[in-house]
Amino acid sequence: MSGNLNSFKVKKFLQDNGILISFLVIVILLSFASPHFLTSANIFNILRQISTIGIATIGVGMLIVMGAIDLSIGSVFALAGIIGGLAISTGTGGYALHPIMGFVAGIATGLIAGGFNGVIVAKARIPAFIVTMGTMSIGRGLALIFARGMPVGNFPDGFNWLGSAFLGPVPFPVIIFVGVAVLTWFIIEKRPMGRYIYAIGSNEDAARAAGIDVDTIKIKTYLYHGALIGLAASVLASRMRSAAPALGIGFELDAIAGSIIGGVSFTGGIGKVQDMVLGALLIGVINNGMDLLGVGAFYKQVVMGSLILVAVLIDRKRSGRG
């Protein structure tokens, strides 16, 4: 009897902490595989690299918990970067506004895109997969139109500062990422909206029957997600000192992968912010490790796709459908 109880406890521990254990195992293996992996410079480099995609991971993670999705992340990323860049650029076609307007314009672009997706999904009752597939094409096309197919640069130093500044040894984009994680945790765990998001993801019909304004919650969640994408795009443009219409290609894959690998259930209703953060970190560590080991870009895509499949299979088994 005690043997069965101990076996159950071990199984429960592995289920609850599988992503953390996997993360630690991969870190240990990479530290042996490459002498450069555990250096402080490389650790902060990983954190800086995953800060923007980590923000997107948290945003799309909320949508997946709610039972929705966004395939337009990469396109909105590009569009927000272009709009914010044009607002402050001193080059041809730029409006040379105050540096802060670059962030305002980028976030506002994300908000508009998120609101558009949310309204169509909620009010027209069209599946999010279809809606965001359409806005994925619209967003990329608009980015190309506004940028005239060319990168946007000549940003003022005041805008570039945020992406390259440090607070002590910590890059500023990492601080923004942590701030977004804390704010989202507060919304999910401490506010009624968080409970409603879980309820909708678990059973939308039951949530409606319980009196939850499902349409409003969906729109608000898409708005918040869109604002995060706009913020992430602005931070990345600040760090890169430029924006391009090709920016963000494949970002939706990394963001969704970070959420799923972090334990967010693709069927909705399950997922925690801290797991989304850990999932983003895991992807960042794996990508960085493969770079240090000289793994080709084509093989990296195979690895990332395989990780997503494994995570989904684990999710199906955990939910009793595998």
Could you tell me the pLDDT band of residue 243, with boundaries at 50, 70 and 90? very high
Residues forming a β-bridge with 170: 167
Q: What is the CATH number of the domain that holds 197?
A: 1.10.3470.10
SS3 content of the chain, % helix, strand, coil (to 5): 75, 0, 25
The residue behind tokens 């939850």 is 212
CB 255 within 8 A of CB 60: yes
Rounded to a whole number of angstroms, the distance between the first and last alpha carbons of the chain is 27
Distance (Å, whole) CA 232 – CA 225: 11
220: domain range? 41-318
The pLDDT of residue 10: 63
Nearest CA to 243 out of 30, 61, 76, 62 is that of: 76
Return the structure tokens found at 133. Answer: 């597939």
| CB contact burial 120-143 (16+ within 10 A = b; e otherwise) | bbbeeeeebeebbeebbeebbebb
Please write the tens of the pLDDT for every residue from 141-174: 999 999 999 999 999 999 999 888 888 889 999 9
**Residues 289-316, mean pLDDT to the nearest whole number:** 81
- Mapped onto helix, strand or coil, the DSSP state of residue 94 is coil
Cβ neighbors of 123 (< 8 A, separation 6 or more) are 215
**Residues 249-269, mean pLDDT to the nearest whole number:** 87
Q: Establish if 165 belongs to a structural domain.
A: yes
Report the mean per-residue pLDDT for the chain: 90
CB 83 within 8 A of CB 264: no
For the chain, the residue count is 322
Cβ neighbors of 185 (< 8 A, separation 6 or more) are 273, 274
In the predicted model, is pLDDT for residue 219 greater than 60?
yes
Could you tell me the pLDDT band of residue 322, with boundaries at 50, 70 and 90? very low
Return the structure tokens found at 188. Answer: 């999910």
Q: Establish if 18 belongs to a structural domain.
A: no
For the chain, the domain total comes to: 1
Q: Establish if 108 belongs to a structural domain.
A: yes
Q: Establish if 164 belongs to a structural domain.
A: yes
Q: Establish if 207 belongs to a structural domain.
A: yes
Residues forming a β-bridge with 167: 170
The residue type of 167 is L
Nearest CA to 68 out of 79, 78, 76, 60 is that of: 60
DSSP string of 28-78, one letter each residue: HHHHHH-TTTTSHHHHHHHHHHHHHHHHHHHHHHHHHHTT---S-HHHHHH
- Please give the distance of CA 254 from its chain centroid, rounded to a whole number: 7
Higher pLDDT, 299 or 233: 233
Q: Establish if 219 belongs to a structural domain.
A: yes
Q: Find the range with the poorest average confidence among 80-89, 109-118, 134-143, 269-278.
A: 269-278
CB 279 within 8 A of CB 260: yes
**Residues 24-50, mean pLDDT to the nearest whole number:** 90
The pLDDT of residue 4: 62
Residues forming a β-bridge with 166: 171
Q: Establish if 12 belongs to a structural domain.
A: no
Cβ neighbors of 13 (< 8 A, separation 6 or more) are none
- Please give the distance of CA 53 from its chain centroid, rounded to a whole number: 5
